[in-house]
Amino acid sequence: MYQRILFPTDGSAGSEAAMGHVVDLASTYGATVHVLYVADSENELSHMVMRDDDTGFSGMVKPDDVEMGSGMTAPDTGGMQRLETAGQELVAAVADEFAAHDVETVTEVREGNPYRAIVNYADEADVDLVVMPTHGRRGIDRYLLGSVTEKVVRTARPPVLTVRLGDSEDEAE
């Protein structure tokens, strides 16, 4: 039923929660997992550190990667390159995790709008299923922040399985 599963990841806790489901599906169906990271080139702040109260720092840039200064600074022209490099490291680490469960992987790092890149990759790779985390935001947070997962659900050709943070099998036991 599922030969090719797309697992877009950003290294967040939500992505980690979805991983167990991807391993189970890939193992059950003998599917290849396509691990995709998208460096968001349309968001000028995407290379900056964003605080996440639950996990400390979210996304790909760690506090050690940022030089702190005071006052105005010049634009960071190397931010996108750092995101792509960190993305390569992330997809390699995720592929290693899947390999530990005897799951075959293909890795890819792209630059662009995350939801468009995910939908385009799903079409190009002819995937049968997309598995993504969702944060379950509501109200003003959802309106202001938008949802990459929601946009993928609405526009992707293949079915999309969403996994809420806290839905991992380890937490259910």
User: Cα(112)–Cα(90) distance, rounded to whole angstroms?
Assistant: 17
Better-scored residue on pLDDT, 86 or 52: 86
- Specify whether the CB–CB gap between 41 and 122 falls below 8 A: no
The confidence score (pLDDT) of residue 63 equals 45
Among 25-34, 45-54, 127-136, name the one with the lowest average pLDDT.
Answer: 45-54
| CATH code, 61 | 3.40.50.620
The answer as to whether 141 is a domain residue is no
Q: In terms of residue numbers, what domain contains 31?
A: 4-66+75-134
pLDDT beyond 50 at 56: no
Domain count along the chain: 1
Average pLDDT over residues 157-164: 94
Rounded to two decimals, the pTM is: 0.76
The confidence score (pLDDT) of residue 66 equals 47
The answer as to whether 173 is a domain residue is no
Helix (H) or strand (E) holding 145: helix 139-145
